[in-house]
Structure 1
Amino acid sequence: MKFFTQFTTIVLLLSCFLSIQAEKLKSSQSCEFQAIFNFGDSNSDTGCMSAAFYPAILPYGETFFHEAVDRFSDGRLIIDFIAKHLGMPFLSAYINSIGTSYRHGANFAAGSSTIMRQNKTYFDGGTPFTLEIQVEQFNQFKSRTGKFFTQANKSSYTRHFPKPEDIAKSIFILDIGQNDIADVISKVGKEDSHALISNIVEYFSKQIQSLHFFGARTFWIHNTGPIGCLPVAMPIHNAHNNQTQVVGYLDQNGCVNSQNDLAKEFNKKLKDIVVKLREQFHDASFTYVDMFSAKYELISNANKSGFVDPSGICCGYHENGYHVYCGNKATINGKEIVTSSCEDPSKYISWDGVHYTEAANQWIANRILDGSFSDPPLPIAQSCQITH
């Protein structure tokens, strides 16, 4: 009897050990994504706005591409480093029809994009490519490319487009909300910012649900960054701002607290929405990525990480409230201002006062890809695992 009890105990322990090992093996397996579909604003736009309106000009793209490319940086964006990490080529913008390949996905992100619908035109600082439109563009992409694979000569399309069954094996990345928060900031004192933010995240949830309906199953969702730490928001580049002397207006890094507080509120509500989506869709994985913390860590440790002061801007003119963005020129107080880039962009966090340099993008990408800033804390290559 004693021997039988010992034997049973050993069997149970062995079974438990094998179960744990199986779970470890499962958690270490790569998802082997077939494609990436990206949705967002200028932080991940790889050509939409240039294809739709005006082509890119130097010095945008000068560091990595050595020519004008359709990115709001001197080189690669975070989405470019994500694609490289997953073993895929750079994503082509959905509406960029020249020299594009969509075999490994498409990028629907567009500069100035928002989650909410807009009443402004591009020339008024708006964009027609809101998240809702980007999601509909994906639906069209899926529908149109799917038809190719029902034709007799479908083999000729496999080199250019993902197979219909690859949609469920793809990762859907969303990095949007910064422009919505900027709009909320502009309405502080005029409208209820808490209600506005709640409406934004609820509308975001609807677009995620639409993507799920269209076949998306793995979501990698970035929250919004510290908008109050963008150099153009800092008082050093806005001498006309009469609030700079108010106690508590700025944090230890010179960032505007009130603006970052709104971003934090958005992020908290966004995370709550992600939790609800997990509860609603048990056949999908939702990874919430804390971009705010990753970017703020870089800003807080700029010097230790080899960067200049985070308020520094590599390209553009930003003085006394006047802003001439990178690659443009203007006449201010009778003096012609011609903008050019700094001598070494790799030393700067901010490229043009709003967007990050390639060096900063790479620093951030290296921090988020291993899951260190994610909930659940899974590397991006394993983010297809469903956790509830």
Structure 2
Amino acid sequence: MFGVVKMQMARFFAVGFFALCLLSVGGERVTYTSSGCDFPAIYNFGDSNSDTGANSAAFYPMASPCGETFFHRPAGRGCDGRLIIDFIAKHLGLPYLSPYLDSLESNFRHGANFASGGAAIRRSNESMSENGVSPFYLDIQIAQYTQFKSRTISLSSQAEIQSDRFPIVDDFAKALYTFDIGQNDLAAGFRKKFSSEQFEAQITDMINQQANAVRNLYEQGARTFWIHNTGPIGCLAVTLHNIHNPSPGLVDGQGCDKFQNDMAKQFNRQLEQKVIQLRKELPLSAITYVDVFATKYELIGNATKHGFLDKANICCGYHEHDDHVWCGNKGIISNGTQVYAGSCEDPSLYISWDGVHYTEAANRWIADQIVGGSFSDVPVPITDSCHRIRSE
């Protein structure tokens, strides 16, 4: 889908050899200028793939060895270091995003992060204590943003001198709005053993609710959206450890859970179609659909080529046969032995940090692929993603 031609286009855009061009993509056009968008802020919505500390602030702090690679301490992220959203911020020349829920040391001048580990698009009836599902589902994250913006405007009008940690009101319209959510909605369906028919109806509802979130932000003045699809859930290392002697048709060409990946692809197809619809419905918007699935699947399928160990290797945690002790915890395994699930010697060689989340090294690799636009529709770099698409 995103072949050599698109990658060449993305590189062509990036070097800026021209002042103005029109790129046709699937019956749509994007007006492109060689000057970058110069985003002053990022507002992010999502789950643990982009949570920079919301859950750690709201519930229990992240424990060691999380954060050991880059921060050298737990830093609210569910991996050894930085996440894709951190590398996106760095690429745009912005500081790492402070979580909205963090009451100490937060700096919101260049945006805020509303993502929460375990969050889903839809409100879940599952208990957080039993299933690790966050109460901060997407509608709540949007409500938090609305309050954040409203209070910013109110307090700015009252302040004689404004702190350099405080948002600039005019930046809300110029900011980049990023989404990375949906994996937990699908995971809930896998736990409930939904059929493909049940998933189809559920996915349509998920996508409609995410579209409503985009509409809500648009009505509040947001214009530029960078929307990640969901990754190959069936290739998560913890899932691979549960596949033993698979029957024909259970796994795909990479040995991943085929049904789970098929449902992720179904989610992504509907999301991409919804993005195309929203571009027509919201005429002042610039919405980029980012194929994170393809990016992650390339990394997983060619791990050694890209400098990593096999995709099933887990850096932190104990996962042998049916015994699972999660990263940083102690547990008793089936033979009665107590084990401490610590981290590996060199996390940079691993794709999977704890069986579910990616390592900093993998996140960096993924971010390097997507910021240039090679896995995007339309295929423009993130630095130029504010340019609008016009329907033919």
Q: TM-score, normalised by structure 1?
A: 0.90
Structure 1 residues 189 and 121: CA distance shift in structure 2, 3 A: closer
> Which of the numbers 163, 171, 181 marks the counterpart of 2:186?
181
For the Cα contact (< 8 Å) 1:171–1:218, is it kept in 2?
A: yes
Q: Which structure carries more relative contact order (alpha carbon 8 Å, separation 6+)?
A: 2
Equivalent position SS for 2:206: helix
Asked if residue 127 in structure 1 is aligned to residue 134 in structure 2, the reply is yes
Aligned counterparts of 2:19 and 2:355: Cα–Cα separation in 1? 49
Q: Which amino acid aligns with 2:290?
A: V
Q: Which amino acid aligns with 1:67?
A: R
Residue pairs, 1:67-216, within 5 angstroms: 67-124=73-130, 125-153=132-160, 155-157=161-163, 159-189=164-194, 192-216=198-222
Q: Which amino acid aligns with 2:186?
A: I
Residue pairs, 1:1-388, within 5 angstroms: 21-23=19-21, 26-124=32-130, 125-153=132-160, 155-157=161-163, 159-189=164-194, 192-234=198-240, 237-238=241-242, 244-333=245-334, 334-388=336-390
For the Cα contact (< 8 Å) 2:32–2:384, is it kept in 1?
A: no
Aligned counterparts of 1:150 and 1:89: Cα–Cα separation in 2? 25
C-alpha displacement at 1:26, in angstroms? 4.7
Aligned counterparts of 1:128 and 1:42: Cα–Cα separation in 2? 13
Deviates more, 1:259-268 or 1:328-337: 328-337
C-alpha displacement at 1:221, in angstroms? 0.1
Q: Deviations over 1:153-201 (max 9, x none)?
A: 1x323x1222221111000000000111111222335671110111111
C-alpha displacement at 1:21, in angstroms? 4.5
C-alpha displacement at 1:152, in angstroms? 4.8
State the aligned residue count: 362
Q: Which amino acid aligns with 1:229?
A: C
Gapped runs of 5+ residues in structure 1? 1-19
For the Cα contact (< 8 Å) 1:103–1:161, is it kept in 2?
A: yes
For the Cα contact (< 8 Å) 1:187–1:193, is it kept in 2?
A: no
C-alpha displacement at 1:216, in angstroms? 1.0
For the Cα contact (< 8 Å) 1:222–1:291, is it kept in 2?
A: yes
Larger radius of gyration: 1
1:5 is aligned to none
For the Cα contact (< 8 Å) 1:238–1:319, is it kept in 2?
A: no
Aligned counterparts of 1:140 and 1:102: Cα–Cα separation in 2? 14
Aligned counterparts of 2:159 and 2:116: Cα–Cα separation in 1? 35
Structure 1 residues 221 and 189: CA distance shift in structure 2, 3 A: closer
Q: Which amino acid aligns with 2:212?
A: K
Q: TM-score, normalised by structure 2?
A: 0.89
Aligned counterparts of 1:189 and 1:79: Cα–Cα separation in 2? 31
Dislocated runs of 4+, deviation >4 Å: none
Gapped runs of 5+ residues in structure 2? 1-17, 23-30
What is the root-mean-square deviation of aligned Cα atoms in Å?
Answer: 1.5
C-alpha displacement at 1:212, in angstroms? 1.1
For the Cα contact (< 8 Å) 2:156–2:162, is it kept in 1?
A: no
Q: Which amino acid aligns with 1:167?
A: F
Identity of aligned residues (%): 52
Q: Which has the higher helix share?
A: 1
